[in-house]
Structure 1
């Protein structure tokens, strides 16, 4: 149990450190992209078909 907490705290500290460095050098877009890549679930709306009668 203690090892899980240590691993979680390490990951959080590493994430904060990387986020701060990337913000400092104006690469925040890169950090946002990495968050998108590691996101486990994201939803894409299916295309909607619209029929128009004229």
Structure 2
């Protein structure tokens, strides 16, 4: 499970695909972490932009 989370957080589709090769659970965790990272980025980026500019 930790491998899947690491692949999902550190990479995009290629890491998630590799996680599915390791196992279904790792692949699902990688997918969820990748989606969560995207949502957090969308929410945090405007705040960071306001602080920087």
TMscore range, shorter length: 0.3 to 0.5
* TM-score normalised per structure 1: 0.43
Greater percentage in helix:
2
* TM-score normalised per structure 2: 0.44
Select the structure with the greater relative contact order (CA < 8 A; seq sep ≥ 6).
2
